[in-house]
Amino acid sequence: MLCPMFSEQAHPTEDRSDPVAAEPADEDVVRGVLAGDNASFELIMRRYNRLLFRVARSIVADDSEAEDVLQEAYLRAFEHLHSFQGRCRFSTWLTRIAVHEAMNRRRRLRRLGLVTSADPGAMEMASYPVDRDGLEEASLNELRNLLTGAVDSLPSELRLVFTLRMVERLSTEQTAECLGLSTANVKIRLHRARSLLRSWIDRRIGEESRRLYAFDGERCDRVVRTVFERLASRRG
């Protein structure tokens, strides 16, 4: 289940000029928050919770850590909202903050010895079963778990590009802008990721990949509630 206020119209890659869309544009929400309507920040969080959670998880490879990263990213974004100048999409600006927070969290975990220095991508892809008959007989949950494990096994820099391009369906240009890469580099990393996932996973990407790392309503509500509680304690 998606966040209660999240809709396909609110997806960052959608054209917000669509008159059917009832929700205000990001820039309007930002102006409202800067004018003192702090409660409007909830719309931003619910609009981008799923995207940023997937981005963070692509880097830290852990649900709980990704949720913590998400909260820190929102707090940092709220505190520096005045610095958003509109030179790029707001979703790009927000994604960059989440990537920065996730990278810092991963480095801290590595220093503490809570993650290995070797990238999960060092795992041998051949360890996953490739028997076609066996896959066809697998249940949907088993297939989803298999796909999640395969994506998690990618090197972090490939996993992040794959998540933005194939899971969140950002364009090559948007992905490059979010990550500070060239479009050519994005294309190369995506090609490498798809090659590692093997052709039998590629045939199922359209059906299954958008279901990976689902950000359900309970987690979405928890992040929104915790961020507002922490903002209130800071003001106090």
The domains of the chain are located at 8-115+214-235, 120-211
- C-alpha to C-alpha distances, 26 to 20, 56, 113, nearest whole angstrom: 16, 21, 39
Identify the CATH class of 120-211. mainly alpha
Short-list 197, 203, 216, 100, CA closest to 152: 197
Identify the CATH class of 8-115+214-235. mainly alpha
What is the per-residue pLDDT for 18? 47
Same topology, domains 8-115+214-235 and 120-211? Answer is no
Write the DSSP symbol of residue 128: S
SS3 112: coil
H/E stretch holding 133: helix 132-137
Per-residue pLDDT 10s for the chain (236 aa) are 334 333 333 344 444 444 434 789 999 999 999 999 999 999 999 999 999 999 999 888 888 999 999 999 999 999 999 999 888 899 999 999 999 999 999 888 878 776 544 444 333 333 333 344 443 444 456 666 667 777 887 888 899 999 899 888 899 999 999 999 999 999 999 999 888 876 445 555 554 554 555 556 677 888 888 898 888 887 76
Contact predicate 193/15, CB 8 Å: no
User: Phi, psi (5° rounding) for residue 26?
Assistant: -55, -45
132, two tokens = 């076609």
What is the per-residue pLDDT for 9? 35
Contact predicate 9/46, CB 8 Å: no
What is the per-residue pLDDT for 30? 94
Dist. CA 130–CA 200, nearest whole Å: 8
Contact predicate 121/150, CB 8 Å: no
SS3 44: helix
Dist. CA 63–CA 40, nearest whole Å: 26
What is the per-residue pLDDT for 142? 61
What is the per-residue pLDDT for 152? 80
Helices (H), 180-235: 183-202, 205-208, 217-235
Q: Which sign does the torsion angle of CA 143, 149, 155, 157 carry?
A: positive
| 18 phi-psi bin (left φ>0, alpha ψ -120 to 50, beta other) | beta
